[in-house]
Each structure stands twice: as C-alpha cells, then as structure tokens.
Structure 1
Amino acid sequence: MIYGPTATADEVLDGRRLTGKRILVTGVSSGVGVETARALACHGAVVVGAVRDLAKGAIAMEALRPDGSFRLVELELSSLESVRTCTAALLAEANPFDLIIANAGVMAVPFGLTVDGFETHFATNYLSHFLLVNQMAPLLRREGRVVMVSSAGHRGADVDLNDPNFERKPYDPLVAYRQSKTATILFAVEFDRRYRSREIRATAVHPGAVLTETTLKLIDAQPSAASAFTWKTVAQGAATSVWAGYVASADEVGGRYAEDCHVAEVNDDPTARAGVRSYALDAESAKALWLASESMVGEAF
C-alpha cells in the first residue's frame, strides 16, 4: 500500500494489530503526540507517554479510554537530570520496548538556556532525546525502532557545533529550531549505524506542517506563515511516524529521512519544498555530533 500526504495514522495502521507491542512516545500532552499515542493504543499497543505536565497529559490522553492501554511518566526535556530520572525508573521496571518515538519539541521560542546551560531548542528537541534514547537502548527489543520527529525546517540550517548556544552569533529562533531538527536527523543516521547489527533501526521523519498549539503561536507572530504551507490535521501529522515505526521495512527507513509516508530523496536545491538536505545525512557529521553530544551530557554510549 502506498500512502500520501493526506493519509492519517489510522489509515496507515488499518488492519494491523499491535497487541503485545510497547511504545514510548514523548510529548503526548497535545497535538501530534496525542494522536500518535491514540492511534497506536487503539490498534492494540501499550503506550507509555512521557510528558512535562502530568496533569495536562492526563487530560489530553483521556480520549484513549477505554480503547487503548497507556500510562504517563514525567519527563522535562529542558533538564538532563529529569531525563535520567525518567529513564532510571523505566530501566528499573525492565519491561522492553519495541519502539521509541521522540516527538516532543519546541519551536521558535525566545532565546534561553536550560538549567544545564544549553540553548532551549537544541536541548529540548535534540540533546535530551539523544540522552533518553541512548539510555533506553538496552530495553529495545531485537527489531525495535527509534523514530525521531524532525522537520522540513532542517533545510534551513545545518548544525553549528562551533556555536550551538549562539554565544558568538546573533540569536535567530528559527535558525535555532532548524539546526535542532537537523541534529535529530543526524542522530538517527548514527544511531542506526551503531545498532543495526542488533537489528535495531532508527529513522527521522517530517510530520508535515500541522496546525497545533505551537504552529498557531507562530502564525500569530508571523501571519504570513499561514499561507506558506499546506497544513495537515494532527491525524495526518501522526501518519509518517507510525508508518516509519511499523509499516515500512527496516531497511527502507533505517538511517533515512521520511516525509508524507515515504523516504525522501536528497535535494539541495535551496528553493525545494521537499526532500532532505545532504548535510543532514552526512555520516561524518553524524559521528561528530554524536561525540560532541556525549561530551555535552557527560556520558559515553
């Protein structure tokens, strides 16, 4: 079956039963994360949703009852200590996972540094997920997968490892967002290289331009953005994540970048509105980012 940009998560999963599958999804208190969790749970999976605000997450996930099996765990991605607390609790339970979807993130927020001293986008969208996924890796079953939710925004900026915190260059919230999303793709490339011998694969996906709390705030700040994209519903925005996680073959998506439920071709045309930049799939850049990230979190994997 070939799916396109209008496919929903339920359509992608139609006829599939995920009974016995355990899935960790970050950012299930709103938008695409909620829909991703709902679709997976309603097709039989046990979903563990990681959220910053447990009360907000509980309200958002209420729609799953009684069709799906889920639980919430606390995770504040602006704090590496919170990441370690969350993963330690899950590791102590020793219940394996089949899939991790790193969905949570922020977009175009004012300049700020996390408690660990990292720029907010880089820390929240990328670095904390780097730590989370690596710490959870021992619980990934054979043939497990990692799906990193990236963005077409990666086409606007490569990762600047010489100045990731904007200490020497002027801060631009969109550049910060874009480089963080490039980092998520590079992470998938290197994680896939390191773990494919264990038959664990990783991919990065673009959910599409989805009307969520985050993007509505951006539109309020920049009204011209409303007409710049073909907007998707959250149901459509969740489709590529579940497609990459369960429908596509491992060799098809492993170490690649997907959009609209297909693997994207490399396209370095600066005017292109589809495809993935070659710098986001560069193996040497992915290795360099991994090593730099280990230094940042103070832990080698």
Structure 2
Amino acid sequence: MSFAVVDIVTGSTQGIGKAIAESIAHHRKNSTTNSFSSYRLVLVGRNEERGNQVAAAIREETNIDVIYETCDLSEYRSVLTMKRKILQDDNNNNNNNNVKVGILVNNAAECPQQQQFVQRPRKMSDGTVVLQLLDKQFASNVLGYHFMLRAFSTAFTTSTRVVNVASNWAGDMDLNDLQFERRRYDNDSAYRQSKQCDRMLSIAWAKKLRHCRVNACHPGDPCTVLSRALGYNLYASAPTRQLIDRSGVIPFLCGLDPSGDVESTGSWYDGSEEPKKDRFASSLQTVEALFDECESYCVEK
C-alpha cells in the first residue's frame, strides 16, 4: 500500500526530536491528514527498542500511522536503503510510487566526550573512491543532515518543509580541519562546528531546492542528553511537546501553523517566527565549498 505523504523526524526517540515528532503528530491528527489519501509519520533513530516504544505511544495517543526505522545516518548507503523502504521505491534514483515527503526534520546529533572516528567512502576529484577517517560527530551531525536531504529530495514537492535543527551555539568551523586533525579536539568546539555546518548547509540546499522551503532554527534550551554532555542547560526542563508547540517556531517552519505558512527559505530562526539572514551566509563561497565536501561522501556503493 502506498502512503501519499510521509513526515520524517530524525533523532526522534528521545529529547527534542521526540517532542517534535509528538508535536507534528498532534497537529496532523485533526488537520491535513484528512486531505491526504494516506499519511504516515516516520521516526528515525538508532535504538530500536526505544524507537518502537515511542512510535507505539504516539500511535495510541493520536490514532495516526506512526512507524520507527533504525538507521545510521552517517552512512549514505544506509540512508538510501531506508529511503527506498519509506518511499516504497525500487529505483535508486526516482520515486515512482507517488509517495511524497511533507515534512523532514533533521535533528539527530551526538556529542561524544572523547573523539571517536568512523570510516566512510569518499569520491575523490579523479573519480576514485577511498575510505576516509572522519570525526564521528561531523559524520553524524553534518553528513547525516546532508545525506537525508540528498536521498529524500527526489520526493520533495512545493509543499515540502525541511527544518534543520541547529543552534545559536554555533561557530568554530575550520573548513581546512573539519576532522580536528590539527586542532585540539573538545566536544564543545566540535558541536559548535557541526551546528555552523548545519546552518550553512541549509543555505546551500535552499538555493538548490527552490521549489520547497529549507530553513534552520534554534529549538530552545531544554535539558537533554546532548546538552548535559556539553555541560549546559543542566537545570532546565526536559523537552516536551508543549514546549515545542508553545515556542511556535518549529510547527511554523513545518507548515503546521494555522495562522499561515512559512514563506522564507534558507533563513535562520533563532527562536521566533521572524526569519533572519544567517551570519554564516556572508561567504557563499565557503557555503558552496562545505556543500561540495559533503557531496563527496554521497557514495552509493
């Protein structure tokens, strides 16, 4: 059976991602799902037991179709496998089953205290493919966003809304040392770099996907597993659906605000519904260079 519209939230088994998924489900249950021939909410994470529990709880509370998918978003081939399953697409490049993405929220992130590495295939300028050693936080937090956009863009329409959850705690990016080979690694600097990259990728993708809306936002300052790893928001409340709904910015960017749809793309939202030009957009050459860097890891085989 084909599902005409799917919404996808990554990193949605706990914390902010779970709260966003719950918010989307509650907005969808009494509104636009009625105008779809069929609808499904897809939660993406790495903990299958927790993911299935969250999906079941949302399904029971809202009575909408919710499923969970396990995926290592830092591996492009894993993302493509998940894409074909979600879109029910047997073709590697085209979605022929009329399953479209309504909302994509890129939220999955990690912040290891000690630097960890993963090996990923990379296509070099001469066409050869080599195995590259990558900082795990970069692979997950940055390439994971890029891979989701690259893979699922074949199912985007003019109604698609992409939200890249970033942070106002962003900076420290060194395009010549993204893997902290020359700099001293600390998880705070690596996290700040990854969030700057996510904001810059939003700018790049918005220019390339002019038919839909791609924006980045700061989701608020709740206490999460990741914030505790960085040592901040220790005394804040845990994220909830009510927090996400109350802030308004994420439902607004998802196109779920009854007062009106988001019109901007490639913009930065720091907690309000007023878009701002991202300060990291000042050098479009650097934005494009980062995009090309991420593209080199989109190796299918």
Q: TM-score range by the shorter chain?
A: 0.7 to 0.9
Q: Does 57-66 or 185-194 show the bigger shift?
A: 57-66
User: 1:100 — aligned with what?
Assistant: 104
3-state secondary structure, aligned to 1:132: helix
Alignment match, 2:56 = 62
- Mapped to 2, the partners of 1:286 and 1:187 lie a distance apart of 7
Asked if the contact 2:9/2:42 (under 8 Å) is kept, the reply is: yes
Match for residue 251 of structure 1? 263
Deviation at 1:131, TM superposition (A): 1.3
- 238-247 or 66-75: bigger deviation: 238-247
Corresponding residue number in structure 2 for 1:32 = 16
Q: 1:82 and 1:242, CA in 2 relative to 1: closer, same or farther beyond 3 A?
A: same
Q: TM-score, normalised by structure 2?
A: 0.78
Q: C-alpha offsets along residues 128-171 of structure 1, whole Å, 9 cap, x if unaligned? A: 220121110011122212110101111x32x3221111111111
**Superposition map of 1:55-134 within 5 A:** 55-66=49-60, 67=62, 68-93=64-89, 94=97, 95-107=99-111, 109-116=113-120, 117-134=133-150
Deviation at 1:214, TM superposition (A): 2.4
CA deviation profile, 1:79-100 (whole Å, cap 9, x unmatched):
3332222123234344211111
Aligned residues between the structures:
260
What one-letter code is carried by the residue in structure 1 that aligns with 2:118?
Answer: T
CA distance in 1, matches of 2:71, 2:156: 19
Residue 124 of structure 2: aligned partner: none
- Structure 1 position 28, deviation (Å): 1.3
1:148 to 164, 176, 180: 164
CA 1:293–1:141 in structure 2 vs 1: closer, same or farther (change >3 Å)?
Answer: same
Aligned-residue sequence identity (percent) comes to 24
Q: Secondary structure at the match of 1:24?
A: strand
Cα pair distance change 1:127/1:281, threshold 3 Å: farther
2:189 paired residue number: 175
Taking the aligned partners of 1:49 and 1:70, their CA distance within structure 2 comes to: 7
**Native 8 Å contact 1:87 1:135 kept in 2:** yes
Deviations along 1:2-41, whole A, 9 cap, x unmatched? Answer: xxxxxxxxxxxxxxxxxx7531111111011112111211
AA partner of residue 134 (structure 1): R
Asked if residue 139 in structure 1 is aligned to residue 155 in structure 2, the reply is yes
**Alignment partner of 1:202 is 2:222:** no
Matched residue type, 2:66? F
Alpha-carbon distance in 2 for matches of 1:108, 1:280: 28
Amino acid at match of 1:291: D
Q: What is the aligned partner in structure 2 of residue 284 from structure 1? A: 285
